């Protein structure tokens, strides 16, 4: 296919940014990939692995003359990235991001990009693993995964279409969503589970018998806590930047957990069974049965 992107700038050469570059390369959808990382060693690894063509020592240098800029940094530094991008933004440039929180990022972009804000397309690929870094990247990461775009009234429709095409080339399914709705949904289905996994492992490792606990932990424990191996810095930033929606979900979870504790203490087996049955039915309905249909 004819390349849809002449020069792609990846700001943050980690799992997501690296996988995007790999996927677009594999589809012959990009001519040149330029990368930036705060850590020079990561840039060299990305070049050695063939993920990017060259690396730059500054964000502005990496983005200069790019037609698409993908900000794939931790959420906590995105505002500074926007500030450094501003001097090199040109008329035909489109900027997007991959952050798991959208309202705060949109506010940062509006504040830092000024009159260029319309070229920014907020995005979030619903894909990833518990691993991080350019070495963990792979071209198939986005196959049959959702990518959510949350454009606002000022967002240029041409820019939105450009980013939609970019993600579709990777094999992703692209949907649009209101930013506030996105943050509420992600707090429930992604952010809270990560916090809970971290919390459980942290609780258990502080027990006097933690060595025995982890020694005898089997598949259920590994499945539940797998995401506690994710980047702590990344999830700290996400938790703080989506703190309002996440706090609401965690508070509801705490209240529901109090109810379950009461069921166990009072030996209310019927209520406990009903709770477990309701949860099993919901998960089977939304995951197992849907998987059979695809």
* CATH code of 234's domain: 1.10.3660.10
Give the pLDDT score at 3.
Answer: 58
Helix axes 243-265, 192-205, angle to 10 degrees: 60
**Same structural domain, 91 and 208:** no
Task: Choose one of 126, 158, 177: the last residue of a domain.
Answer: 177
Last residue of a domain, one of 153, 177, 201: 177
Structure token digits, residue 170: 């990777």
Beta carbons within 8 Å of 3's beta carbon, 6+ residues apart:
28, 29, 30, 31
Contacts of 12 (CB under 8 A, 6+ apart): 36, 37, 71, 72, 73, 74
| pLDDT for residue 232 | 93
Same domain, 106 and 202: no
Dig out the tokens for 160 from the structure: 């939105």
DSSP per-residue string spanning 146-213: EEEE---TTS-HHHHHHHHHHHHHTTPEEEE--HHHHHHHHIIIIIHHHHHHHHHHHHHHTSTTHHHH
Please give the structure tokens belonging to residue 151.
């454009």
**What pLDDT score was predicted for residue 289?**
66
**One domain, residues 240 and 258:** yes
**221 and 250 share a domain?**
yes
Residues 249, 110 share a domain: no
Residues 39, 142, single domain; the answer is yes
On whether both 249 and 150 belong to a single domain, the answer is no
Whether residues 256 and 131 share a domain: the answer is no
| Average pLDDT by stretches of 10, the chain with 294 residues | 81 94 96 92 91 94 97 94 96 96 97 96 90 88 96 97 96 97 97 97 96 92 93 93 97 98 98 97 83 54
Adjacency order of strands within the sheet including 120-121: 54-56, 30-36, 5-11, 68-71, 94-97, 120-121
- Whether 217 and 256 map to the same domain: the answer is yes
Q: pTM of the prediction?
A: 0.91
Per-residue pLDDT, 286: 85
* Residue 125 shares a structural domain with residue 208: no
Tell me, yes or no, whether 64 and 199 share the same domain: no
The DSSP element (H or E) to which 5 belongs, if any, is strand 5-11
Number of domains in the chain: 2
Provide the domain limits for residue 203. Answer: 181-293
State residue 67's pLDDT score.
96
Looking at residue 38, what is its pLDDT? Answer: 86
pLDDT of 287 reads: 81
């Amino acid at each position: 296919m004819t390349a849809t992107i002449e020069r792609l700038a990846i700001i943050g050469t980690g799992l997501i940014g690296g996988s995007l570059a790999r996927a677009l390369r594999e589809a012959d959808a990009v001519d040149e990939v330029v990368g930036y990382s705060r850590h020079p060693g990561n840039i060299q690894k990305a070049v050695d692995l063939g993920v990017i063509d060259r690396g730059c020592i500054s964000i502005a240098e990496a983005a200069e003359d790019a037609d698409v800029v993908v900000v794939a940094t931790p959420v906590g530094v995105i505002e500074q990235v926007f500030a450094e991008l501003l001097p090199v933004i040109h008329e035909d440039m489109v900027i997007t991001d991959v952050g798991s929180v959208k309202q705060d990022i949109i506010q940062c972009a509006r504040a830092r990009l000024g009159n260029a804000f319309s070229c920014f397309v907020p995005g979030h690929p619903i894909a990833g693993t518990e691993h991080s870094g350019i070495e963990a990247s792979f071209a198939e990461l986005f196959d049959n995964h959702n990518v959510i775009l949350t454009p606002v009234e000022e967002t240029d429709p041409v820019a939105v279409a450009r980013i939609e095409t970019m993600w579709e080339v990777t094999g992703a399914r692209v949907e649009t969503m209101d930013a506030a709705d996105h943050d509420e949904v992600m707090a429930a289905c992604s952010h809270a589970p990560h916090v809970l996994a971290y919390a459980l492992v942290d609780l258990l490792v502080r027990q006097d018998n933690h060595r025995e606990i982890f020694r005898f932990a089997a598949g259920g424990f590994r499945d539940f806590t797998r995401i506690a191996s994710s980047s702590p810095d990344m999830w700290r930033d996400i938790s703080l930047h989506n703190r309002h929606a996440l706090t609401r979900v965690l508070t509801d979870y705490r209240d529901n957990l109090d109810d379950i504790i009461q069921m166990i203490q009072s030996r209310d087996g019927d209520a406990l069974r009903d709770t477990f049955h309701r949860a099993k039915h919901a998960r089977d309905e939304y995951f197992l049965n849907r998987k059979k249909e695809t």
